[in-house]
Structure 1
């Protein structure tokens, strides 16, 4: 018999709090064992660069998921998500209905202590460039490395070089921090209900002080970064969230139909009017001046828009189909090892230390690949020196 002192309450919920799940876990079972999946389907169904998943520690029959919408993710699994705010919460095996539910760990509330341990990365080969596995190589409090598999760990024969990835991909196979790609980038959710194209703008001839704030003056790439806020984490159900930035004037419908909105005000109006051109794109107002756009059919996070910068959106990097890989280094200037937005929200909780490890691994990646610090990081460090 486990005493009350030997258990800890774990709670998972969606962004809008319409769906809350609570269970008690023996402290001896912590940290919960989890894994990271980098497959194309997971990226395009969440908008994140990977999914982090563990088993929900409660019998499936005891979990009331009637408030969640089911999307047929594959022949084996349904994804269960909140239709109001988009948060994907569970993967449910539809062939073996007695199997535990797979929980997206980003939905767990912040608590002190060591809550999740990532043991392996699967389908890293789908990313082409390693994706988020580069800064999640040593994500655990005990310092252990999460093994990276090209495909599914349990089906790889043995642990050959072909199965377990170490120093992959090689530096010369990556676009790199300075080279820039010019071609269009598809934006699509898993079900293809949202299908757009981003053609990065040309800033040739524009003075540095006239560039949009998120454009690198040297490479003219857009900024890509890390966010640790609760809203972003719950929006896509993933602990480590990554955004890239784009001007709305550079986004169009994939079918070349004219009329994609050039401002966030116009985008919101088009969705509110239920214009069929917008497909399955909808939004949740996470605050009075912010809209989080997602696919109403499969849950994929797509955009974040704010009323104080109507000319642009934050783009969920997982829904991009860049030719050079999941991180799209040819289009984005990454602040590897730099500041993580809203880190302070996690102070005193387990994710604060997770983000510290993410930053350190990002810095290790940057140095090993001989990438320079990006301009935003250099500006912040210079300002800190003067303070």
Structure 2
């Protein structure tokens, strides 16, 4: 039996802290093996561009999950999530109650211990463009490549599948950084209780000073970027969170002619009034002036809204169905290589170095594809030079 000095307390909790789970794990077991899934279902059930889980080191029978809500994700798995704040906590096997739960790694405390090692990326083919796997090809401290697979890592007979090349997908199969598309993009959670459409804004003829702050002056694409804050991470149970920005006036209902709220204040009021047109949309106020909108049936994160900019929302990129791929580069100008927002919150913990590797890989990805630097990065560089 391991001594107290050889044990690490593994802690997982949801955003509102109503659900907290702890267990003791021998230091020799770290890093825990994690499997990243990029399938359409995982993206739409969380709002993240991928999910990552690792076995919870206790039998399900020993874990009190009575405070969590259950969503039947597939014939084999349920997702157990917080009904208040929507944090997905566990994947649970539907047929074996004694089976170990799979904990979403984004819910784990940011301890100094090197907690998780990503071994495989599965269903990367669903993303069309590689999705988040492009900055998670070498995510671990050992520097080795995490193998990526178009579907499962094993075939129907259990034999190892063929991994996809390091530089997949090829450049010619992608939209490109400059070209902007204007096709409407569905916003859907996994259960389709939230069913909306975003028509990317057109800003032709507008002066630079008339553009929203998140719109590229040259391409008129909206900004997409990375966040490392605890609240975003816990919202969707994903370590590396990605948002895209949009004006609420460009969002509409998919199945009705009613006008969608043009301000987050009105959107919040409609949710409070339980307006049926919103379907399963709910929100959690993570601070007095912030609302995090989610599906209260399947847990998917949908929007982030703030009272200091009520005309817009951040869209969780995993719930978009863009024709060109999960990253929707046809409508978003990605801040590849930029310092991840709120990265300093993670100093002293295992995620800090993970985020640094993500930043490095994002920049390598940008350069390998010949993409120019995002306009906001260039503006910051110019300001730093002048100062």
Same fold, TM exceeding 0.5? yes
| Aligned equivalents of 2:121, 2:377: Cα separation in 1 | 28
Matches within 5 A, 1:40-189: 40-155=40-155, 163-189=163-189
| Aligned equivalents of 1:257, 1:75: Cα separation in 2 | 35
| Aligned equivalents of 1:355, 1:219: Cα separation in 2 | 28
Q: Which residue does the alignment assign to 2:4?
A: 4
Q: Does the 8 Å contact 1:149/1:165 carry over to 2?
A: no
Q: Which residue does the alignment assign to 2:286?
A: 286
Q: Does the 8 Å contact 1:184/1:197 carry over to 2?
A: yes
| Aligned equivalents of 1:309, 1:23: Cα separation in 2 | 41
Shift of 1:302: 0.1
| Unmatched segments (≥5 aa) in structure 1 | none
| Aligned equivalents of 2:98, 2:310: Cα separation in 1 | 47
> What SS does the aligned partner of 1:58 have?
strand
| Aligned equivalents of 1:339, 1:4: Cα separation in 2 | 38
Q: Does the 8 Å contact 2:53/2:104 carry over to 1?
A: yes
Shift of 1:41: 0.3
Q: Does the 8 Å contact 2:12/2:21 carry over to 1?
A: yes
Normalising by structure 2, what TM-score?
A: 0.98
Q: Does the 8 Å contact 2:105/2:237 carry over to 1?
A: yes
Q: Does the 8 Å contact 2:264/2:313 carry over to 1?
A: yes
Shift of 1:153: 0.6
Q: Which residue does the alignment assign to 2:212?
A: 212
| Unmatched segments (≥5 aa) in structure 2 | none
Question: 1:98-131: CA deviations, max 9, x gaps?
Answer: 2210110000011112110000100000000000
Q: Which residue does the alignment assign to 1:262?
A: 262
| Aligned equivalents of 2:13, 2:75: Cα separation in 1 | 26
What is the aligned residue count? 386
Shift of 1:160: 6.3
Q: Does the 8 Å contact 1:39/1:123 carry over to 2?
A: yes
Matches within 5 A, 1:300-379: 300-379=300-379
Structure 1 residue ranges (4+ consecutive) displaced by more than 3 angstroms after TM superposition? 156-161
Normalising by structure 1, what TM-score?
A: 0.98
> What SS does the aligned partner of 1:351 have?
helix
Structure 1 vs Structure 2 CA RMSD: 1.1
